[in-house]
Amino acid sequence: MSLTGAMLLTQVSVPQVSVPFSPEQASTFAPHVDALYAYLLLITIFFSTLITLLLVVFAVKYRRRQPDEVPRPISGSMVLELTWTIVPLLIAMTIFVWGASTYFKAYRVPHQAMEVYVVAKQWMWKFQHQTGQREINELHVPVGARVKLTMTTEDVIHSLYVPAFRIKQDVVPGRYTQLWFEATKTGSYYLFCAEYCGTNHSGMGGHVIVMEPTAYEQWLAGGAGAESAAAQGQKLFQERGCASCHQTDPAGQQGRGPTLYGLFGKQQAIEGDGTVAVDESYIRESILDPQAKLALGFQPIMPTFRNQVNEEQILQLIAYIRSLGQPQGGESGGTAQGGGGTTTGPTTGGASPTTERSNPLAPTSPRQGNPSPQLPPRVGQGGAANANRRQ
């Protein structure tokens, strides 16, 4: 699986360029951006030097020698005009194609990825792993695994920026934005907020800590007391009384609201016209504004849960709904495979304040080179998640 991922990224073979004054290259995306940068630099230097040289040569050669001289007028040349219109346009189009294809790679989020939920707020980054671990201003990820961030904010617009990965994505209130990366080198990398967000904007940063897979598993195992995001969501689901209307068992009788079992990822017919894909955004909208896209055949009786559940809790509910009806141990989805409410874990309140955790196992030597192809992309589903659930 990660082989196809690696192929996807290296369809266009990118020469390994190192540009001066650039941050470390620590993601699969970084060499692509640097190569594009090198190309852009070459073009920029070429044209700037050309113009500067011409200016200097003309300024010296045709400097005014007599105060009253009048040179012969030259009105123009169609050939030259066409040349310096068409040639730059063609060069610009090559930049466009290169830039657009790089961008497309960065924003085409792979289906198979380890998922992390991100909630930004003034002025901190809160991360929640599917296995339940929560962190503030630090994100631990394994090297060589594709990591997908599903992000929103509790207040203003923020922007998650990791220079070493060359990625950035605004985090917008009221919607989910997604970003993915695959780290290629262990180490600790700066994480910044890149969209101005108020008083302590420059303090809203931290680190992404890229670890060897084994060290990452140990780090996960060190998270005593954490239960999976889906399990936390399930608890909320019971506490908030969602279960009184929404059936989660496929065999059970249809409640007043749609049965949620196996719903995620399907097309849902809605009142009015058309269908809507049941994804993170639709579930979020249905919790906060239930009548916006009402499922066909149901009464508009669900109250809004705005101000009753926060963004982190909504993400936990989504993790839970998503886990319902997912094939056991199957290939789809990056969530912890709890099955239909079988997970029983120690009770840590979903909304309880998280403790900031530091990396129990500092990364050893920085790892060079490409990710190992045999590494499963979904680390969360493997031993790490199970080890965690046993606690």
Partner 1 sequence: MSNELTATDARAHEWRSRFPTVNYLNADYGIKSWLLTKDHKRIALLYLVSVTFFFLIGGAYAGAIRLELLTPQGDLVQSQTYNKLFTHHGIMMVFFFLIPSIPATLGNFLVPMMIGAKDLAFPRINLLSWYIYMLGGVLTFSALLFGGVDTGWTFYVPYSTNFSNTYVVLAGLGIFINGFSSILTGLNFIVTIHTMRAPGMTWFRLPLFIWSHYATSLIFILGTPVIAITILLIALERLAHVGIFDPALGGDPVLFQHMFWFYSHPAVYIMILPAMGVVSELIATHTRKPIFGYSFVAFSSLAIAIFGFLVWGHHLFVSSQSVYAGMIFSLISFVVAIPSAVKVFNWTATMYKGSISYDTPMLYAFAFIGLFTIGGMTGVMLAALGFDVHVTDTYFVVAHFHYIMVGGAMMGYLGGLHNWWPKITGRMYPEGWGRFAALVVFVGFNLTFFPQFLLGYMGMPRRYHAYPADVPLWQVLHVMSTAGASILGIGLLIPGVYFLWSMRYGRFAPANPWPATGLEWRTPSPPPTENFAVTPVVTWEAYEYRPVEEMRVIGPGESAEQAAGVQPPLDRAET
User: Within positions 87 to 106, which residues make up the interface with partner 1, using CB under 8 A?
Assistant: 88-89, 92-93, 95-96, 98-106
Residue 125 · residue 191 · CB < 8 Å: yes
Give the H/E segment covering residue 239: helix 229-239
Site for partner 1 in 4-33 (CB under 8 A): 19, 21-23, 32-33
Q: Which helix (H) or strand (E) holds 182?
A: strand 177-182
Stretch that binds partner 1, among 69-77, 220-228, 359-367, 381-389 (CB under 8 A): 69-77
Say which residues have a Cβ less than 8 Å from residue 335's Cβ, sequence separation at least 6: 115, 130, 228, 229, 230, 319, 322, 323, 326, 380
Residue 92 or 301 with smaller CB distance to partner 1? 92
Q: Residue 379 carries which DSSP code?
A: G
Choose one: 46-54, 211-219, 265-273, 323-331; the region binding partner 1 (CB under 8 A): 46-54
Examine residue 291 and tell whether it contacts partner 1 (CB under 8 A). no
Which residue from 52, 254, 370, 372 is in contact with partner 1, where contact means CB under 8 A? 52
Between CA 338 and CA 96, with CA 5 as vertex, the angle to 5 degrees is 125
Q: Is 62 in the site for partner 1 (CB under 8 A)?
A: yes
Q: Which residues, 258 to 287, sit near partner 1 by CB under 8 A?
A: none
Residue nearer to partner 1 on the CB measure, 36 or 114: 36
Q: CB-wise, 101 or 354, nearer to partner 1? A: 101
For residue 297, the SS3 value is: coil
- Under the binding rule (CB under 8 A), the answer on residue 390 touching partner 1 is no
Shortest CB 171 distance to partner 1, Å:
9
DSSP 378-389: -GGGTHHHHHHH
- DSSP secondary structure letter of residue 11: S
Interface pick for partner 1 out of 7, 42, 54, 362 (rule CB under 8 A):
54
What tokens were used for 194?
A: 């890149």
Q: Which of 7, 51, 269, 277 binds partner 1 (CB under 8 A)?
A: 51
Determine if the peptide bond prior to 123 is cis (ω within 30°): yes
Q: How far is the CB of 78 from partner 1 (least distance, A)?
A: 9
CA distance 175 to 160: 15
Instruction: Please pick, from the candidates 122, 137, 218, 310, the single residue that binds partner 1 as defined by CB under 8 A.
Output: 122
Among the listed residues 22, 26, 344, 370, the one whose alpha carbon sits nearest the alpha carbon of residue 183: 26
Q: Which of 127, 161, 264, 305 binds partner 1 (CB under 8 A)?
A: 161
Burial class (CB in 10 A: 0-12, 13-18, 19+), 293: middle
Among 12, 42, 84, 265, binds partner 1 (CB under 8 A): 84
Q: Hey, is 116 helix, strand or coil? A: strand
Residue 379 CB, nearest distance to partner 1 (Å)? 25
From candidates 111, 256, 266, 306, binder to partner 1 by CB under 8 A? 306
Per CB under 8 A, the list member of 26, 113, 167, 379 interacting with partner 1 is 167
8 Å CB contact between 152 and 116: no
